[in-house]
Chain A
Amino acid sequence: MLDPVDAVLLLVHTNGDRIDGRTVIQKLVYFTQLLVPLSRKFHFVPHFYGPYSSELAALLDSLVGLRFLRAEVTRTPRHRDMYSYRLTEDGLAVTSRLQDSGDAKKVLSVIEKCRSLTALNPDVLSYAAKANHILSQRRRAYTDAQVVAEGKKFGWHMTPDQVKRGVDVLLDLGLAKRKKAAN
């Protein structure tokens, strides 16, 4: 099983040693831990941009302090801080010993799927994570409209189209199944 530090560093490494955006990294770790066994899971709770883990946020800051990651912050024209995480040489040294492991291949597969399905767009990743959070709560079949309605309980205002885009990502990741419509 991967330890959480290795998982986060591998994720950045397999994405070309760089991930842009805190929402993006939060959601990528969210999906990774659903698909790759970690020795300790992050606790995610519903937040404005979907499931969010304060433990993960703290770990990212620690990894910057430990010089495994470098964080660059730019303020966008809409006054939002945009965080860009880059793997440092020291981070690379940690991930290089794991590079050929089965776990690394699994992480690579998660990131490749997310990249091809969402182009790592934070909004689309966020719709997918929100939809997954809702679907995994009740473990029963939901229509897209029901996901929209259920999302409002968490303060998530998604359109049916946004839910569909999110669910499509989940289907490709193997985290959801489409039920055949009755004739």
Chain B
Amino acid sequence: MPREKRLRTKYWKFKSIRDPLYGFVGFTNKEIDLISSSAFQRLGYLKQLSHAYQVYPSAVHTRFEHSLGTLHVADRVALNLGFDNTRRRKVRIAALLHDIGHGPFSHLIEDALKSEDMNGPDFSHELITRWVLTEDRDIRSSLGGLASDVLDILPPRTEECRDTLSADIISSGLDADKLDYLRRDSYHVGVAYGSFDLERILHTIDVTPDQKNLCVQEKGKDAIENYRLGRYLMHAQVYEHHARIIADQMFLRAIGLALDFGILDKRALRVGRSESSHRKFLDYYLTLSDSSIYEEILQRRGSKAARILSNIRDRKLLKRAYELDLGLDVHDALKRKELSTLTKERVSQLERLIARDAGIDPSDVIIHGRTIEIKLFQPYDILVLRRNGEVRSFDDMSPISASATPVQRLFVFCPKNKKQKVRHAARRHLGI
């Protein structure tokens, strides 16, 4: 091998890590530094699919391997689009770090921290990712001068984004994140629903004529159809599985109680506007993992939060006492409108009333409204470059309707031995 080629190979494959989907994945020296940081290593202790292991026991893979895989897929896209080394380097690192702001049980802790009495609805793991990149000493020093270019293409995307094409590789309807996690989740869960023809997508991925967005050539549209059906089926079979939803809702209830009763440090998880406040928040947040949050709460024996987590751990999950399909089961239009727009305060009030009538603790009654979307993707989510050079939204081109009516369900969960009493009380208080 010529010396120059050998050096180039050595640069992109300073170290290689074995991955079950892609074989050996190469990393640069800088990427290895980032992976070795404690903020990144922590991702190995955050399960990708939160409580899905309660249904699929092997679904215990973590954000760590997903992040490595996302780098690999993003790199393949960048190479296929002919990116130069500078842009390629930036895209790889953004893909590697895209999930570094996730906390224990990912979206669940995010939801708890988004509540009005914590950090409000604008709070997100994407924001935390940005703080980690700017505030974490190890990450910042490994990134060096690349930080602002990487931040430019990480979500949430601003209108000042200088490189929207690279940003599309990191976050869009056809991003490296989904191209990795659907197949990875499928592999670890042990289902085939999330499988699709990645090679065909990578082969036909392209750039819109204005060079601003990612799209797929018309000849790749069947592979996209396969991908979006995979995405839909993974939602239906794995991500929205009712037992997983119950475990997740129980966990959220436990976190809420732990915050209210001082088991978790509410002040440490509240963030102010200043940079020093971000740093203080990260000092605590980055120490948390899936197991540490369980341990911290379970140590408080006798607390309601500990009891709930202990029940999840022992798989004594709450059961569905009552379930309404709002579109089908609620005949009165105004009642349907009321139940579909319940506020958090009204939900708490109803839970207390139902629990009182059923003679159980209010923390054991969970009312949960869920919209189960059949939608395969949002309009304009994926773009197709037609043979005549025109760019079209994929759902205009697909023979399969892009969306269907979502199902809106209202669940009432409770302990197994109280189902009947709770069902009666729920009927009475929900007015159905």
Contact = CB atoms under 8 A, between A and B. Distances in A.
Contacts of A52: 380
23 contacts: A22-B379, A48-B380, A57-B378, A57-B379, A58-B371, A61-B403, A61-B405, A61-B406, A62-B371, A64-B405, A65-B327, A65-B371, A65-B407, A66-B340, A67-B336, A73-B401, A80-B396, A81-B395, A81-B401, A90-B333, A90-B336, A93-B334, A155-B208
B107 interface: no
Given A5-B341, A52-B380, A81 B327 contact: no
Contacts of B341: 3, 5
Contacts, number: 71
A81 B396 contact: yes
A67 B212 contact: no
B210 interface: yes
A61 B402 CA distance: 12
A46 interface: yes
B159 A137 contact: yes
A65 B396 contact: no
A93 B333 contact: yes
A54 interface: yes
Top 6 A-B pairs, shortest CB-CB distance: A90-B333, A93-B333, A65-B405, A65-B327, A65-B406, A94-B337
A32 B393 CA distance: 26
Contacts of A3: 341
Contacts of B326: 65-66
Contacts of A91: 333
A79 interface: yes
A61 B373 contact: yes
A106 interface: no
A34 to B, nearest CB: 18
A38 to B, nearest CB: 13
A76 to B, nearest CB: 9
B294 to A, nearest CB: 33
Contacts of A93: 333-334
A66 B380 CA distance: 24
Contacts of B393: 48
A105 to B, nearest CB: 21
B375 A61 contact: yes
A46 B164 CA distance: 13
A150 B334 CA distance: 45
B327 A66 contact: yes
A127 interface: no
A91 B340 CA distance: 13
A3 B343 CA distance: 12
A176 to B, nearest CB: 19
A115 interface: no
B397 interface: yes
Interface string A46-88: 1110001010011001101111100001000001110000000
Contacts of B208: 155
A79 B388 CA distance: 15
Given A79-B397, A80-B396, A66 B336 contact: yes
Interface string B380-401: 1000000000000101110001
B408 interface: yes
B351 to A, nearest CB: 22
B213 interface: yes
A65 B324 CA distance: 13
Contacts of A81: 395-396, 401-402
Nearest to A73: B401
Contacts of B407: 65
Nearest to A152: B210
Contacts of A47: 380
A62 B333 contact: no
Interface string B397-427: 1000111011110000000000000000000
Given A64-B405, A81-B396, A155 B380 contact: no
Contacts of B379: 22, 57
A67 B210 CA distance: 41
Interface string A13-39: 000000000100000000000000000
A79 to B, nearest CB: 6
A57 B333 CA distance: 21
Nearest to A3: B341
Contacts of A137: 159
B378 A94 contact: no
Interface string B127-140: 00000000000000
A113 B343 CA distance: 33
Given A5-B341, A22-B379, A66-B340, A155 B371 contact: no
Which residue among A57, A62, A64, A79 has the maximum number of chain B CB atoms within 10 Å of its CB?
A62
Nearest to A97: B334
Which residue among A62, A65, A90, A91 has the maximum number of chain B CB atoms within 10 Å of its CB?
A65
A155 B405 contact: no
A90 B327 CA distance: 11
A65 to B, nearest CB: 4
Interface string B311-348: 00000000000000011000001101100110000000
